[in-house]
Each structure stands twice: as structure tokens, then as C-alpha cells.
Structure 1
Amino acid sequence: MALPALIQLVRGGAKAADALGQVPLPRSPRQRKLLHIVANTIEGQEQQTAALRTDSTRVHDEMGTENARLREELHALTSEVERFTRETLPTAVSRLREGESGATVQAEVYLPEQRLLRASVEAVLRELALSERRALAAQTASAKALSRVQAKSVSMLADLRSMQERHGEEVFGDLLKLDHSTSQLGLMTDRLALLMGGRPSRAWNRPIVMESILRGAVGRIAAYQRVRLHCSSNVSIAGFAAEGVMHLLAELMDNAANFSPPIDEVHVYVEERGTGVVVTIEDSGLKMAEAAMRRATDSVAGRTTDLATLQGTRLGLAVVGRLAVKHRISVNYRPSSRGGTGVVVLLPRHLIAQEARDSHPAPALREAAASTGATSTTAATALPAAP
């Protein structure tokens, strides 16, 4: 009975010598020696087990501390990556597109504290800056080239109108066709110039009566014969905005004519309101799907700024958006009472000339109307004469 009691005492934490003193020892020297050996062996095993248990606890604590540190580092790294994608990158791209230098942007935007991530972010910003510089250089070169085309187009129009006055009826119709083709060329070059940050090819130093604005817009589109104007307003658009308003309306009329059946008419209505002048353009084409309506609304509101996302059919609407933002013009789409799509354009009061308004069209328009039998409800074929 001594051996089980001895083992229990030693495993309970007692020293081997103390445990041997607490149990009855056998009379045989060999048996007593065996008990001493067993007690010492068990004591050694218990000491090793305790040491291993202590080491295991220490390692576990160290691993827990290391894991906590790694989790904190991962959380901090994730937060910095999220901040870079959510804040730094959009801000940097926006400022670079506005023309700020890469060094200035990199010095002022938030950069991660982690060394490797910071180096990667700086490399990305340098590449963005280089890409924007190249794009800006190409855009500037294109705008300069287009400005020369615009100047040539305006010069050709002036020559054609001079020829219309000098030559007889036998060539007048042909000259009008050339005049209209050149006006369409001017619309396309102005469209590209405006998209690339340039200016329209014309500027006006006096107010332009609303009827002349409408006829000038109609005279720039291919389907001018299908456009019907309903305008009894005598208001004039201030000279600084006349060309922009004319181009904006031309793009919307062109879009309405292109997306309606070739035998259907496009109707344009003008109303004076307390908030300004409302121009409504209605076609008889297919109603726009919701997705197409959203894209068109984003374009005319100036929210579509990336040229890479624009298709050829939406370039004109992107120009409308830029002009609308510049002159604070409201442009909204809605279903048309004629079955197609309607566009409502609000020209605000600050675009309306405050001086006495000329209720008569410009001379070139009167001559064009007389030559084509145009009335206030029929589109003209010429632009207003240069002031």
C-alpha cells in the first residue's frame, strides 16, 4: 500500500524525501531502495512536466502577443489602402486633370505611413501625373489644330455669303447648299474643340434675338428641313452667351432629328417665364429606355467628363453638358406629347439681354427666309451674319 500513496503524494507536489517520510516503509532494504528510486523518478518527471507547462504557457503568450501585433498591422494596412482608394486616388486624379503638377499633388495629398505601401502609392501618382501630362499635351495640340480649322470654316462661310450677294439666282441655290455644309462642318469642329477645352469659333459683341438664335442653331444640322420653330418671343440672348446657347440648341435639335424617323418633324417651342426663357424640343421617335435616359441626363448635366466613356452618338450631349454648366442652363429630358422624347431647356435670366431688344432677325436670316419661303414655323438655312 506504500507505493500508491507515495506516487500520489509526489504527483501532488510533495518532495520525494517528504513523501517517503509520510508513508510506511517496508522492512526489506531492497523494497525501501525501490521506493526511493520510484519517488525520485516521479519527482523528476513532475519537474520536467511543470517546466514544459511553463514553457508552453510562455510560448502561447508570446504567440498571442505576436498575433495581436500582426492583426493591428494588417488592420492599419487595410485602412491605409482603403483611404488611398477612397480619398487619395480620386483627389489626385481630379487635381492632375485640373492641371496641377505631379509634385504639388504628391506633396499635399495623404500618403500612407507604411514604407512599402507609401513607395507604391508614390509610384502610382508619378505614373498618373505622366499620363495626364501626355493627355493634356495631346489635347492642347488637337485644340490648336481645331482652332485653325474653325477659323478656316468661318472664313469659308463669310466668302460663301459674299458670293450669295454677288452672283445671280442660277448659282444661289448651290451656294446655299455649300453654306449649309460648311455650317455643319463648323458644328462638328466646335463640338470637338469644346470637348477638348477649346472655345467656339464665333463670338458676338451684341445681343442676338431669340428667333435668330433658333434659326442659327437649325442652320447647323443636317436635317434642318424637318425642324419646325414656334417662336413668338422678342427676347434677346446676351452676346457673351449667344454662341454657346446656339450651339447647345443645335446639338439637341440634331440629336432629336437623328433619333426620330426621317419623315417625322422635330418641333421647337419657346416660352417666356419668370425664371427665364424655356425652349422645348420634341421629336416623334421611340421613347428612351430608362438606362438611356439616365445616361443622357448625366451627359447634359455635365456629370460625364471622361471622354473615353463617350460613344460617337453621345459626344453632342457631352458638349451640351459642358455648355450648360458654363452658362448655368438647366436641361431636362421627359417623354414627349408627340410620342417620342422631349427636352426642356431653361435659359436663366442672367443670359437675357436687359437692353431694348431687337424684334427682327439679323439681315442674313431675313434674306435666307425670303429665299426659302421660311416663316416663323419653318427652319432657315443660314447662320446669323457676323456682327
Structure 2
Amino acid sequence: MRSKPRSIRSKIMLALLLPVVALIALWALDVQDSFDAAAGLRDSRNTRENVSIPCDQLVAALQAERSASIEVLAAPGGNASAGSQRAATDASVAGFREHAKLYRGRGISAEILRSRIADMGAAFDSLALLRTQVDARSVTPAAVLSGYSSVISYAFSVSTATAASSDPLVERVMRTSIGLRRAGELLHQEDALLTGVTTAGRFGDGEYRQLTEIVGALRFQIPTAGSTLPAPDQATFKSMLSGPAFAALRAAEDQLLGTGGAGDAVPLTREVWKATFTPAVRQLYDFLGTGYDKAVGFASAARDRVLWRFGISGGLGLIAILISLFLSVRIGGSVVRRLSVLRTAANDLAHRRLPEMVARLRAGEQIDVESNRLRLSLGDDEIADVGAALSEVQRSAVDSAAGEAAMRYDMNRVLVNVARRNQTLIDRQLEALAQVSAVDAAGDRAEQLAVQMRRQAEHLVILSGSARSRRGLGPESLSAIVSRAAGQVEHAERIRIGVVPDAEVPERAVADIGHLLAELLENATTFSPPDTTVRVSGHRGAEGVVVEIEDQGLGMSASALEETNRRLAQPQEFDPATSSRLGLVVVALLAAQRGIRVVLTPSAQRGITATVTVPGELAVPVSPPEARPVPLTRRSNAAKLVGIAGQRARVTADRGAAPRHAAED
């Protein structure tokens, strides 16, 4: 089943609103991105306070505990120092966990950061085992260094996740700061290793190799990490690396690396190493102390830029959306309204105006085409061109109808003129035949043919719509009309007339009813075998007098019978293509003009029965003879001859019948 077609209104509105909807969607995405960027930059301070700073504090505590644990393994007297540092580490772990719960970041980077924090929480569980091994002295300094460094690496993975930012400058500063802190972690690994070495006074197994690796990584990573700093900060960083603190640190490292290898005595004491290490690492972390603050400052500035950009682009986008929506509604409404006016005008023209004008023209009425022209105010675009074309179509159709009506009027005049001339000649012929003293069989035939010619000539008058009159002859009985109509048929001898009710037909309808009955009788005799009879009878009904004409022909199919009855009930304008059924066209026109109902039905004897219902006002019951007025009218010889021909046909048809029928005729 086909769905209901979409209207032009919905199509136009859809075509206009789709770009507006797309613009709104793009604007909403831009607003969402701007808000997300601003929210992410706003969360930079929250990330610094609840993740970055607590994480750095925890790293510092772990670095200190690592150095203390290695010192415990190198000298038994370091237990008290290790115990106090463990308490500080536990406090830092608890503080980190509490602050991590307050983190309110959003987006994919926030989810990654929360995952890293969870991994770091699981890494804390390894501290208990490592501390137990240190207390039992069942672990080497190298293993302690590796174990604590592994936990610290989880902390740096958390710091790396906090560096993600929507602003490139903020992210670069954060990643540079974290890179420098990783370099600082190498310094603390070096300090932890050398704290144990200087306390023991010699290198243990693998410690010299570890020192070599740490020093090599340190000297590569510190300059590399600072290369991404802004230009002013790079100058300060390079000045710090070339200062006396880092120069002394490098000299001490070179002195330690020159000792040789495992088991060799170290040239530095623990106090000398601490005095060399502490100034350098303090300078580095002092430099890094402002890194987070700078990143937060950059984030605030970037957030302000985002908000300003959102305020400008979002506001302009909103204004553009409102203007587009207004123009879409206005333009779409204008187009839809004008199309609705055009559709209404076209429907009115097709279903009312044009048919009415054509009907008036065909009825002979004069119409001013210009004053009745379709005028539409639809602007000056393509829709207006369609309206103008529709107006031209109306004018052309009306002009064509007017020309057709004029031609039909002229043709009708020609037909009427020809019919009148034929009627005059036939009347003169009938009068001449009436003057013949002895009418033989040939004369009867000539008279009958003349009457049929007159009836055929009257077809033209009826089809042209002109008036037919029988002035001066007065009303006539229905039985006389039936008899005369039977006499006008070519094979009148086959017609059997039965009982016809006594009824009088007014003068105005005598000719039309006679013509109608004659046509039906002509059809009945023509379309039935020559050896059959056609029966005519009548009776009174609820609506008037009913006359039935029954033949014994081949009949008609159900569809043909239905179509014929429809044409008889609703007569249409005469079409020359239907000239083969000219008699039925004339019957339909006469029946419609006089209010007579004609219906064809199958008869009991295989033929067709034509039922003619004459209304009561055209079939007035006849009063008794003594009260019946005698018409004082004078008939012409032609009319007398028509009556004589009808009487002869009736006598011929009823020869051998009851005398009562002859008396009625």
C-alpha cells in the first residue's frame, strides 16, 4: 500500500531547514568543544592541587626513604633514620590518596589519569615487602634501588598523565617540567647509590656499573629536558648547569668514575658527597618549583582566550543561526503561501470557473473574456510565471470554448434551417397526397415514408435544442398518440397495441411524447426478427401512466443495458461519434425535457422491454364524455393524414381483434 505523498510544503520546509539544522549542529559542536577546552583549562588548578603536588611530595618521600634504606644496608646504625622516613612516606601516601579523591577532571585524559592513579595505588603494596627485606638485610642495595625506583616510576606516569591539555603551550610547559623532574630522579638515584657506597667506603657488586649508567643518562637527559623551555627560561637553565654547584657535582662524578671498579675504595666520604650533591639538586628543584605555577598561569590565559573566542564565535554563530532560521521561515512561508494560492486558483479554475464559463458559452451567453481573466499577485519569479501561464491557459480555453460555441450555434442554425425546409416540403407533400381521391397501396407507402422523413427531420430540430410546437391542434388522448406513433414506424404491421389508459396529453407535450414513442417503436421493430411482433400496452402507476413496449429480439448484454439506461437517465451533449444511436439520444433529450423516465429491461421472451413513465401532469385522466370539452381547433391536411396513417396502422395491427379495440381507436 502506497503511503500518502508528501506535500510540497513539507518538502520546501525540509529543504530550507536542513542547512539550518546542520548549522545549529556545527554551532553546538563548537560550543561543546569550547566549553570542554575551557573546563579542561579550568581543571588545571584542580589537577595541580589534588594530583601533581601530592604526587611530587610522595616522590620526594620515596626518594628519601630509598636513600635511607640503602644506608641501612651499608651501615647498621641507620635504622632510626629509615624508620622516621618510612613514617613520612606513609603520610605522603595517605595524603596522595585523599587528594586524589577530590580530583574532578573530565574527558578521556581524566579517565587515563584515574587509571594511572589506580595502578600507583597497587604499586604501594610492594613497599611492605621491600621494607621487610631491608630490615632482614636479605636484599642488596642494587635491588633496593631498583624496587623503589619502580614505585617512583608509577608516580611519574601519573605526572605525565596530568600534562595533557587542550592548549599546546600549557602542555609543553607541563611536559618540560615533568622531564626535568625525571632528570632530578636520576640525581636522587645517584645520591641513593653513592650514599651506600660512601658509607661502606667501597663499590659493591654491580654498583660501579649502575653509577656509570646513571651518570651517562643524567648528563644526557638534563640538557635535553631543558631544550623545550621557553627562551628566557632556557637561558636561566643553562646558566644553572654551568654554575659552580653542577660543576662540582660533575667533578665529583668524574672522580668516582676514575676509581676503577667493584671492591675499590671510593675517594669521597659520605659528608663530602652530600655537600656536593645537595646544592646542585636544590638549585634544580628551585628552578622547577615555579614550573607548575607557570603552567597554571598559561592555562588561565588560554582559558580566557577560549572564553573570548567562544563569546565572539558563539555569539556570531547564534546570530547567524537566528537570521538563517528567520529567513528560512520567511522565504519558505512566502513560497508555500504563493504555491497554495496558485494551487487554489488552479483547482478553482479547473473545477468551477472554467466549466461554468464553458457551460455559459455553450448556452449561448456572451462572456467578456478579459474581465473574467484569472489575475494572481504572485510576485515576479518563476511562481508568478506559472500563474501567468495559468491565466493564459484560461484565456485560450475560454477563447476555444467561445469559438466552439459560436460554431455550434451557427451549425445549429444551419441544422434548424435545413430541418424547417424539409418539414415544409414534407408537409406540402403530405397535403398533396391527402388530395388524392383514391389512395392505393403505393400511395399508403408514399404517405408512410413521408411521415418517417418528417420524423427524421425533426431529429435535427431536437438535437439543435430549438422549440418544437404543435400550436392550434389542442390536447390529444394518449391512445391516439400511441396509434399515431405506431403508424410512423416502417413495419407498423408488426405492432400490437393493447390496452392504453384513458389519459389526455397537454398540447405542449403531444409532439414530444409521440416522437419519443415512435423512436422506441422503431428500435423495437428494427432490432427484432421480422416474423415477431412488438407489443405495446399501458397502465396507471404511482407516478403517472406507464407505457411498456416489448419486443422479442436478441436482447442486450448486462453492461450494454446498464450503459444505455445511464445515457437515458442522464442525457449528454450530442456527440457526432454516437450518430449510430441517434434515436436513443433523441429519446434521452425528450425524456429529460418533459420529466419522462425511460428504462430498458430484459423481457420475459428474450427481448427488451422499454418502460416509459409519463408523469401525471402530462397524462391527465379523461373526464366522462358528457363533461369532456371538444377542442375547437382546425387541423391541417398534413396533420389529418398523419392521423389517418396512424389509424390505418392501428386497424391493420388489430385486424381480427376484439371490436372493443376498434371502437377505442
TM-score clears 0.5: yes
Give the TM-score normalised by structure 2: 0.47
Deviations 1:85-115 (A, max 9, x none): 1111221122222221121x875x7945346
SS at match of 1:288: coil
**Equivalent residue, structure 2, for 1:243:** 511
**Equivalent residue, structure 2, for 1:278:** 546
* Structure-2 separation of matches of 1:371 and 1:71: 74
SS at match of 2:612: strand
Q: Give 1:44 shift.
A: 8.6
Are 1:12 and 2:38 matched, yes or no? yes
* Structure-1 separation of matches of 2:322 and 2:480: 91
Query: Do the aligned residues in 1 keep the contact of 2:478 with 2:503 (CA within 8 Å)?
Result: yes
Q: How many residues align?
A: 361
Letter in 1 for 2:38: G
* Structure-2 separation of matches of 1:9 and 1:344: 91
Q: 1:340 to 1:371 in 2, by over 3 A?
A: closer
The higher radius of gyration belongs to 2
Q: Give 1:134 shift.
A: 2.1
**Equivalent residue, structure 2, for 1:67:** 332
Query: Do the aligned residues in 2 keep the contact of 1:195 with 1:319 (CA within 8 Å)?
Result: yes
Partner residue of 1:304 out of 567, 571, 579: 571
Are 1:154 and 2:180 matched, yes or no? no
Are 1:192 and 2:460 matched, yes or no? yes
Deviations 1:46-89 (A, max 9, x none): 55576456435533542343123212221221122111111112
* Structure-1 separation of matches of 2:608 and 2:307: 96
Are 1:178 and 2:441 matched, yes or no? no
* Structure-1 separation of matches of 2:352 and 2:533: 49
Are 1:350 and 2:617 matched, yes or no? yes
Q: 1:357 to 1:311 in 2, by over 3 A?
A: farther
Letter in 2 for 1:90: P
Are 1:207 and 2:233 matched, yes or no? no
**Equivalent residue, structure 2, for 1:323:** 590
Q: Give 1:13 shift.
A: 9.3
Q: 1:357 to 1:315 in 2, by over 3 A?
A: farther
**Equivalent residue, structure 1, for 2:521:** 253
**Equivalent residue, structure 1, for 2:356:** 91
Query: Do the aligned residues in 1 keep the contact of 2:373 with 2:395 (CA within 8 Å)?
Result: no
* Structure-1 separation of matches of 2:588 and 2:643: 28
Q: Give 1:189 shift.
A: 0.9
**Equivalent residue, structure 1, for 2:652:** 374
Query: Do the aligned residues in 1 keep the contact of 2:484 with 2:646 (CA within 8 Å)?
Result: no
Bigger mean CA offset, 48-57 vs 116-125: 48-57
Unaligned runs of 5+ in 1: 1-6, 380-387
Q: 1:71 to 1:363 in 2, by over 3 A?
A: closer
The structure with more helix, counted as a fraction of residues? 2
Bigger mean CA offset, 66-75 vs 122-131: 122-131
Bigger mean CA offset, 42-51 vs 115-124: 42-51
**Equivalent residue, structure 1, for 2:320:** 55
Bigger mean CA offset, 42-51 vs 147-156: 42-51
* Structure-2 separation of matches of 1:81 and 1:8: 53
Relative contact order, higher structure (CA 8 A, sep 6+): 1
Letter in 2 for 1:185: M
Query: Do the aligned residues in 1 keep the contact of 2:495 with 2:533 (CA within 8 Å)?
Result: yes
**Equivalent residue, structure 2, for 1:385:** none
Query: Do the aligned residues in 1 keep the contact of 2:416 with 2:461 (CA within 8 Å)?
Result: yes
* Structure-1 separation of matches of 2:317 and 2:513: 87
Query: Do the aligned residues in 1 keep the contact of 2:487 with 2:648 (CA within 8 Å)?
Result: no
Q: Give 1:300 shift.
A: 2.7
**Equivalent residue, structure 1, for 2:376:** 113
**Equivalent residue, structure 1, for 2:580:** 313
Q: 1:187 to 1:363 in 2, by over 3 A?
A: closer
Deviations 1:15-38 (A, max 9, x none): x9x999999986845678xx6998
Query: Do the aligned residues in 1 keep the contact of 2:545 with 2:613 (CA within 8 Å)?
Result: yes
* Structure-1 separation of matches of 2:37 and 2:304: 11
Query: Do the aligned residues in 1 keep the contact of 2:493 with 2:649 (CA within 8 Å)?
Result: no
Are 1:141 and 2:414 matched, yes or no? yes
* Structure-1 separation of matches of 2:503 and 2:424: 29
* Structure-1 separation of matches of 2:34 and 2:618: 103
Deviations 1:240-264 (A, max 9, x none): 2211111010111112223323332
Query: Do the aligned residues in 2 keep the contact of 1:297 with 1:333 (CA within 8 Å)?
Result: yes
Bigger mean CA offset, 208-217 vs 184-193: 208-217
Unaligned runs of 5+ in 2: 1-32, 49-169, 174-228, 234-293, 378-386, 631-639, 658-665
Query: Do the aligned residues in 1 keep the contact of 2:493 with 2:653 (CA within 8 Å)?
Result: no
SS at match of 1:102: coil
Letter in 2 for 1:12: A
Query: Do the aligned residues in 2 keep the contact of 1:251 with 1:316 (CA within 8 Å)?
Result: yes
Deviations 1:240-290 (A, max 9, x none): 221111101011111222332333221111224565332111112233334
SS at match of 1:314: helix
* Structure-1 separation of matches of 2:508 and 2:544: 17
Letter in 1 for 2:652: A
Q: Give 1:372 shift.
A: 9.1
